[in-house]
Amino acid sequence: MFLAHHPAPPLSDFVASIWLHEGPAAPHGKDRILPTGMIGLVINLQEDEIRTYDRETGRVERSRGAAVAGACSEYFVIDTAEQQWCMGVQFKAGGAFPFFGMPAVELQDAHVSLDALWGAEAVDLRDRLLAAPTPEARFRVVETALLERMARDPERHPAVRFALREFLQVPHARTVAEVTDQLGLSPRRFIQVFAEQVGLTPKLFCRVRRFHEVMRRVHQGGRIDWTEVALSCGYFDQAHFIRDFRAFSGLNPSAWLARRGEHLNHVPIVD
């Protein structure tokens, strides 16, 4: 069972969805999670632990059963056993900063236990979710927790709001230089405020989102012309496309296509 709940304002300005998954363990033990440019919150209701794995050594890193996954510039590896019963929050681009009391860029490429940010409230949140009798009740619990943690002044910086609107246009997203020229901020100041609220620099965010758009188009099915997909998503040439694809996924496009899973940004790791 996978359910997604879309909250009402004011949360809808910052939260794309609150989701709940229940189901049997996957036959493979780990998933490669590819970057999306977004920040997420994951709560493991099956056990009070979240595990991620070092990409090179396989060394496990453990946190309590609720953790924030910062905006990523590379893939990371998770334990599929945790996906049997879990909930999460998918924040919109630039939507997480009102809830965690710190610049979003400090979470880049990191998994941070929620109790390090929320203290005892994180433990209480998981306990209340376990006690809630229905999925709808669990969604209300998460909404209430987010509203209680939302900053008093949650507005995005006007430059960030404008830039995100321009960068997220598909298929004709504008370049960082084109957007910066219209902001009235120095390039250095724009990079600072954007990274503080979004979690990545503007250039890196645009690269990740371009990669994500490639995956989205290919995931829809049908005949795949990699050259056409790459050019339509703004890559200069095939070498540029493959270089970015490897940087973000650790795979070349054909290998990703052969291994991809049911979910867009999950790639099963099969020994």
Going from the N-terminus, what domains does the chain have, and what CATH number goes with each? 2-149 (2.60.120), 158-264 (1.10.10.60)
Burial class (CB in 10 A: 0-12, 13-18, 19+), 133: exposed
Residue 172 has pLDDT above 70, yes or no: no
Q: Give me 110's structure tokens.
A: 């990191």
- Looking at residues 163-176, what average pLDDT do you find? 85
Are residues 140 and 149 in contact, defined by beta-carbon separation less than 8 angstroms? no
Per residue in 52-78, is it b (16+ CB within 10 Å) or e — as a string? bbeeeeeeeeebbbbbbbbbbbebbbb
- Looking at residues 5-21, what average pLDDT do you find? 97
What pLDDT shows up at residue 82? Answer: 87
Residue 111 has pLDDT above 80, yes or no: yes
Averaged pLDDT score across all residues of the chain: 93
**pLDDT grade for 42, boundaries at 50, 70 and 90:** very high
Rounded percentage of the chain residues whose pLDDT exceeds 70: 99
Query: Quick one: which of 11, 71, 61 has its CA closest to 41?
Result: 71
What pLDDT shows up at residue 171? Answer: 61
Residue 236 has pLDDT above 90, yes or no: no
| Strand, coil or helix: 78 | strand
What pLDDT shows up at residue 152? Answer: 83
More confident residue, 174 or 215: 215
**pLDDT grade for 153, boundaries at 50, 70 and 90:** confident
pTM of the model: 0.93
Residue 222 has pLDDT above 80, yes or no: no
Q: Which residues contact 118 (CB under 8 A, 6 or more apart)?
A: 125, 149
48-107, pLDDT tens digit by residue?
A: 999 999 988 889 999 999 999 999 999 999 999 888 999 999 999 999 999 999 999 999
Are residues 194 and 159 in contact, defined by beta-carbon separation less than 8 angstroms? yes
- Looking at residues 15-44, what average pLDDT do you find? 94
Cα–Cα distance, 106 to 114 (Å, whole number): 14
